[in-house]
Every structure is written in C-alpha cells, then in structure tokens.
C-alpha cells in the first residue's frame, strides 16, 4: 500500500519538481515542528539529539510568545489611540500555528511516505538479496561437502531445507524487481524528488560552497536523518541498475556528497557518510559504464578541490563508529574508499591535490591516514597468512583419503564447513590487504616524506621487514596452497610491491634515517633476509633497477646496524631515567604527559596518539598539543651522550699514544 501511495505522492509533486529551483523557497523548515498532520520530532535528527531538538523548539516557542505578547501590547495601544473604535485583535495569531503552502505540505508528506513505502521496499529488497546470496553460498558448500564426503542424513535435510528457502526468496526477489527496479519512470520521479531534497537541505547551510560554516545551523541539524539517508540509498540502488542514471544530471548530488562526506559536525552518523562513498564508488567510470561520470570526477571544481581531502578524512574517522561491529565495518568502508582513491590517483588533477594535502597536513590527517593504512595492512595480511596455514592443514587432512574416510560423517562435515568459511574470510582479507599494499606502493613513490617522519619511519620499517620475513623468510614454503589465486593470494606480486616500497622510501630519504630504522627492528630484521628476497625477485622477474637499489639499501641497513652496536658500546650503561618507558631506548626528545606525569620520548607517544587519543598509563584524554617538553632532562641526556663519547675518544687516543713502538713500526 505504501509503495503505491509513494507513487501517488510523487505524481502530486510533479508540477513543482519540474520547476524546483523557483519552488524550493516555498518549503518551510518550520513545518517539521509545527504542522498538525505528521509528527517528525521523534525521528532521529541529522546531527542533534532528541533533547537538543526539543530545547531548540522550546527556545523558538519562547521567542514567538514574546514577540506575540509585545505585538498585542502595540496593537492595544494603537486601538486606544484611534477614534475608529474598530476591533483589530483578530489580526493577532500565534506564530506557532502557521499556514503552510500545498507545496510545503506535499514535500514533507512525500518524504515521510517514501521512507515508509519505496525506501522500505528497497531496504527489504537489499536484505532479501543479501540473505539469498548467503544461503546460496551455504547450499553450494553443503553440496560440495556431500560430493566430497558422501553425506549424512542431516546434511541431506539441510540441503533440502536450503533449496526450499532459496526458491521462496528467489520468487520474492523477482517480485520486488518487477514492482520497483523495472519501473524506470517511478525511479526517475523519486530521483527528482530527492534532488529537490538535496537542494533544499543545502540551502539551509547557505548553498553549495566550501568550506562549510564552522557552526552547523540548528535548522539543518534538526531535520530527520532519513531525508538524506533515503537519498543515498536510492542513489546506490539506481547506480547499480543499467541505464537508470543515463539521462539524469548528477552534479547536485555530487556537490552535496563532497560537502558533507567529511564533516562530523554536520552529519553525525558515520554510516550515512560511508553510504556517500558507496555512491561515488558506483559512479567510477569503469564501474558505472557511463562516460558522463568521468566528467563528474574530472571536471567538477568542488570535486577537484575537496574530494581527496574528504575521502582521507573519512578513512580516519571511520576507525571509531561507536557501533559494536565497528572493527569489521571499517574494512568494508575503507575498501570502497581505497578503490575510489586508486582511481583518483590516476587522474592528474586529483593526484596533484593529493600531493598538496600530504604537504599541508603532513602532521595532521594525512599522518593519521598513513597510520591506519599501515595498521590495516599488518592486520589483514597477518590474519590472511594465518588462515592460509589452517586451510593448508585441512587440505592435508582431506588428501589423506584413507584416514579422512575413517572419520565420522559429522566430523568431516564440520571440518569442511570450517574450510569453506575460512576460504571466504581469506579471500576478502587478502583482497583488502592487496589494495592497502598497492596504495602504499604508489603513494610512497611520489609522497615519501611522511613515511620518513620520526614518529613513522620505525613503524614503516618494522611493517616492511615483517612482510619480507613472511614472503621471503625460511617459513615461506609453508604458505604454498593448491590454488592461491582462489584466495586472492599473490605472493610474487606482494613481494615485488614490498621491495618497491622499500626503494621508493629510500629514494626520498635525504637524511639517511631509513636504513637505521630498518636495522633497529629486532623482531624481523636480518641482513640475510634481503639477499634471500633479492634472489627470489630475480627468479620471478622483478624490475632489475628496483632489485639493485633494494640491495644497496640492504647494505646501508647492515652498516647502520654495525654503527648502532658501536654507539651502544660507547654509551655503556644508560641511566634508567634516560630510557623511554615503553621502548626502553635512549630518549632524544623527552616530553611529560600532563595527566600521568610520565616522561616519554616524543616520537613514541605521537605514534601511539595516531591510533588512540589517550594517555597509555592512565587512559585519560591526550592530544599532541598537550605534551610538555622536558627541557631539563633533554639537556641532561645530551650531556650524558657527549661525556660518554668524549670518554671513549680519550681512551682511544691514549691507547694509540702508548710507548709500545707500534707507531714506529707503522712508519
């Protein structure tokens, strides 16, 4: 019924949808709070709590009441002053009981009806499609188990049950497609309505211009969240229907997305902002099949100025969504962001914008972006490689057919179920890991400077050393599986990319800090590992120039390791108060944490703050600007290093000057 009502309401909107630029001014935001037909006040607002909405409405009411009272006084004085004696009190009316135009009423009622009708149907269709895909995977896995293990009565029952559910859901899916997806005119009218919704919403914040006002206007923050959420859901759906957007102008939607995608102070819900990325992801030319979408990304000024910046900001923001599933949700969202960033990197104007952001925000959002990119790369590759070892173990069990057949059917089925479950996990994690490593490879080539900052260089070196150990170390053969491509596992490509990242960072290393950082890694660094990796790279057809520079870097790291040992020997026993309490290394730039009063090395605490804005010793809130330089301790450390070096030098000179005839013999 509500889908049909949605169609009727959209028909009623048609006259002003055709001329929306001139009609949108008739849509009064006060309708949301003072109309007598629909209660919008209890709906989730875009960036205000229910208490904030109520208090804002109350403040407006008080203002209206005061204005009305003063108006009545002025009116009575006017009546007394006139001799006509006419009663004009009927002119006074409460400001709250406003008369709203048909366009205004029709607009807001249509928005509510669409949410309960068309958009609810689209949501149901999405859930049916997802459920159907999961059940079809389960059915395929169960059939594979039956083929591999003979099958038990319980397995046959499961297969029959799944087949029936799949058949019912397939019929449901066809019904939704026939009612909604095949009705192009219906969807076009809905798109036009939500274009008006976007235009009206943007007017509440001053129109299409950036940057946004520092303070979010209350009239915008109090509008129902579903107004904008429904617009994004419809765009995602229609973007995946061939030719649904072919003749539709998308510029206003793109401007809206770019304006609000990176702003937590305007749109609180991170999942709504993530949907905006999903829309843009669908519009990439290679995915949409529309040549017109390329001009959206490559010729739209707001897009050129702000898209990369806001994508990087959302990549960072999505780390903490507040949801209990935030850890896993972020990987799906970052997957969409990574695909879009990879496309934009190949567009020269966007690449230039990216470089500029990296330069301007080197110690800000860009450093946070790199930190989370590295975190995700380590986690995803580690998880994938561990799961590959477990998959290989089950493969070995199944290969031993005699022992496998002796196992009870239920046990075989359980192992196969685990096997297929892990296959899916590895495939997804490995795909994301490949994307992240790929992004590190192409960004490090042209923007190496952030990788070499004191708070990043050791972390980057440790990550690369760890990957190198996994792909070229003594345990690499244990990762051999029957069909690595099935799991998106491409060890040769990964090794080439890791070597390339080493070389790219080394090329930008003007201060020669990278070799020392590589050699400092006590967990994975080994000079023999680089030689082993180079041999593999030659065998698999790596770039000769990259391999040559890779080995030169290995030589520098080996020399740096030797120098570090000599320096450690010179310093001797270092007083505990000079050592960083986390890394237990000599501090170079000690700072005091204001809450716990602990002194710690600046690069170490900044590295921690990139992922977690708390004091690691008492979990109180902490930011970089709150750190207090421990100048006195720094001077003491510098004096200690100088005295130890001087003492060692004096000792060496005295040894050379001893009268043992050595100098005469040399002459």
Distance CA 464, CA 380 (A): 14
Tell me the pLDDT band of 297, cut-offs 50, 70 and 90: confident
Confidence band (pLDDT; 50, 70, 90) for 437? very high
Of residues 631 and 321, more confidence is placed in 631
pLDDT at 26 over 60: yes
Give me the mean pLDDT over the 419-445 stretch: 89
Residue 660's pLDDT is 53
End-to-end C-alpha distance for the chain, whole angstroms: 107
Phi, psi for 213 (deg, rounded to 5): -55, 145
Structural contact between residues 347 and 298, judged by C-beta atoms closer than 8 angstroms: yes
Judged by DSSP in three states, 540 sits in coil
Question: Which residue in the block uniquely carries the two structure tokens 């040992």?
Answer: 565
Dihedral of the alpha carbons of 476, 477, 481, 482, in degrees to the nearest 10: 140
**Residue 435 is encoded by which pair of tokens?**
């994307």
Q: Is the pLDDT of residue 664 over 80?
A: no
Share of the chain above pLDDT 90, in %: 36
373/316 Cα distance (integer angstroms) = 9
Which band of pLDDT confidence, cut at 50, 70 and 90, is reported for residue 89? Answer: very low
Residue 84: its pLDDT value, please?
A: 44
Mean pLDDT of 299-323: 87
Which residues are 590's β-sheet partners? 601
pLDDT per residue over 127-151, tens digit each? 999 999 989 988 888 887 777 665 6
pLDDT band at 90 (very low <50, low <70, confident <90, very high): very low
Average pLDDT over residues 592-602: 89
pLDDT at residue 72 is higher than 60 = no
Distance between CA 436 and CA 338 in Å, rounded? Answer: 7
Strand 599-601 relative to strand 628-629, pairing: unpaired
- pLDDT recorded at residue 658: 55
530: its two tokens: 């680089």
Residues whose CB falls within 8 Å of the CB of residue 164, separated by 6 or more in sequence, listed in order: none
What is d(CA 407, CA 398) in angstroms, rounded to the nearest whole number?
11
Q: How far are the Cα atoms of 429, 496, 518 from residue 433, in angstroms, in the given order?
A: 6, 14, 22
pLDDT at 644: 77
The more confidently predicted of residues 326 and 94 is 326
Distance from C-alpha of 433 to C-alpha of 225, rounded to nearest angstrom:
34
Residue with tokens 């072919």: 246
Percentage above 70 pLDDT, the chain? 90
Q: With contact defined as beta carbons under 8 Å apart, do 339 and 432 qualify?
A: no
pLDDT of residue 150: 59
Confidence at residue 126, expressed as pLDDT on a 0 to 100 scale? 92
Give the integer Cα–Cα distance in Å for 388 and 331: 19
Kindly tell me if the per-residue pLDDT of 187 is higher than 50. Answer: yes
In which residue are the tokens 């004696």 written? 85
Find the mean pLDDT for residues 275-290: 84
Instruction: Please count the CA atoms within 13 angstroms of the CA of 345 that sit on its side-chain side.
Output: 17
Model pLDDT, residue 402: 82
Q: Residue 221: which of 205, 199, 203 has the closest Cα?
A: 205
pLDDT of residue 656 exceeding 70, the answer is no
pLDDT band at 158 (very low <50, low <70, confident <90, very high): confident
Average pLDDT, the chain: 84
CA neighbor of 307 nearest in space, from 443, 264, 299? 299
* pLDDT band (50, 70, 90) for residue 657: low
**According to the model, what pLDDT value does residue 311 have?**
93
Q: Are 487 and 423 in contact (CB under 8 A)?
A: yes
Mean pLDDT of 488-503: 91
Highest mean pLDDT: which range of 208-222, 379-393, 480-494, 498-512: 498-512
3-class DSSP state of 27: coil
Cβ proximity of 182 and 7 under 8 Å: no
639-662 mean pLDDT = 69
């Amino acid at each position: 019924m509500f889908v049909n009502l949605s169609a009727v309401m959209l028909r009623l909107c048609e006259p002003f949808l055709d001329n929306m630029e001139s009609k949108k001014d008739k849509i009064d935001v006060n309708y949301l709070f003072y109309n007598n037909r629909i209660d919008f006040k209890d709906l989730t607002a875009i960036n205000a709590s229910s208490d904030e909405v109520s208090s804002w409405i109350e403040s407006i009411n008080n203002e209206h009441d005061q204005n009305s009272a003063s108006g009545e006084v002025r009116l009575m004085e006017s009546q007394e002053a006139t001799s006509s004696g006419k009663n004009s009190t009927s002119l006074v009316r409460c400001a709250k009981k406003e008369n709203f135009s048909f366009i205004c009423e029709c607009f807001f009622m249509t928005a509510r009806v669409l949410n309960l009708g068309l958009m609810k149907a689209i949501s149901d269709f999405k859930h049916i499609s997802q459920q159907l895909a999961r059940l079809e995977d389960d059915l395929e896995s169960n059939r594979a188990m039956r083929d591999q293990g003979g099958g038990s009565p319980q397995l046959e029952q499961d297969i029959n049950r799944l087949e029936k559910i799949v058949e019912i859901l397939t019929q449901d899916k066809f019904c939704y497609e026939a009612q909604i997806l095949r009705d192009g005119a219906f969807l076009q009218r809905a798109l036009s309505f939500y274009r008006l919704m976007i235009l009206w919403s943007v007017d509440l914040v001053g129109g299409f211009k950036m940057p946004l006002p520092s303070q979010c206007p209350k009239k915008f923050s109090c509008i129902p969240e579903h107004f904008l959420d429904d617009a994004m859901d419809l765009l995602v759906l229609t973007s995946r229907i061939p030719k649904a957007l072919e003749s539709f102008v998308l510029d206003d939607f793109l401007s809206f997305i770019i304006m609000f995608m990176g702003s937590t102070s305007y749109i609180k819900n991170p999942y709504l902002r993530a949907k905006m990325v999903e829309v843009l992801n669908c519009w990439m030319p290679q995915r949409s099949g529309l040549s017109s979408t390329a001009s959206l990304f490559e010729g739209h000024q707001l897009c050129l100025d702000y898209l990369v910046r806001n994508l990087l900001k959302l990549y960072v923001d999505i780390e903490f969504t507040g949801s209990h599933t935030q850890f896993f949700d972020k990987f799906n969202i970052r997957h969409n962001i990574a695909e879009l960033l990879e496309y934009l990197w190949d567009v020269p104007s966007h690449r230039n914008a990216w470089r500029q952001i990296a330069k301007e925000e080197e110690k800000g959002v860009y450093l946070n972006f790199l930190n989370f990119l590295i975190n995700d790369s380590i986690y995803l590759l580690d998880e994938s490689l561990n799961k590959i070892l477990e998959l290989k173990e089950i493969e070995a069990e199944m290969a031993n057919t005699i022992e496998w057949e002796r196992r009870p059917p239920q046990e075989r089925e359980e192992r196969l179920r685990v096997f297929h479950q892990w296959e899916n996990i590895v495939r997804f994690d490995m795909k994301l890991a490949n994307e992240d490593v790929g992004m590190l490879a192409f960004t490090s080539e042209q923007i190496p400077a952030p990788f070499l900052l004191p708070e990043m260089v050791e972390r980057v070196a440790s990550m690369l050393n760890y990957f190198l150990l996994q792909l070229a170390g003594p345990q690499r053969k244990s990762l051999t599986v029957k069909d690595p491509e099935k799991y998106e596992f491409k060890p040769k490509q990964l090794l080439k990319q890791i070597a390339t990242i080493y070389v790219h960072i080394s090329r930008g290393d003007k201060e020669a800090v990278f070799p020392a950082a590589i050699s400092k890694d006590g967990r994975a660094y080994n000079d023999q590992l680089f030689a082993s990796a180079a041999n593999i790279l030659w065998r698999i057809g790596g770039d000769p120039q990259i391999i040559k520079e890779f080995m030169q870097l290995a030589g520098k790291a080996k020399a740096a390791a030797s120098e570090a040992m000599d320096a450690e020997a010179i310093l001797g026993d270092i007083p505990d108060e000079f050592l960083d309490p986390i890394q237990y290394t000599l501090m170079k730039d000690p700072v005091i944490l204001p809450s716990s009063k602990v002194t710690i090395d600046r690069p170490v605490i900044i590295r921690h703050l990139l992922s977690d804005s708390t004091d690691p010793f008492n979990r109180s809130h902490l930011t970089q600007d709150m750190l207090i330089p421990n100048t006195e301790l720094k001077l003491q450390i510098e004096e200690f290093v100088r005295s130890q070096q001087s003492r060692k030098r004096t000792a060496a000179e005295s040894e050379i000057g001893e009268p043992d005839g050595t100098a005469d013999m040399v002459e």
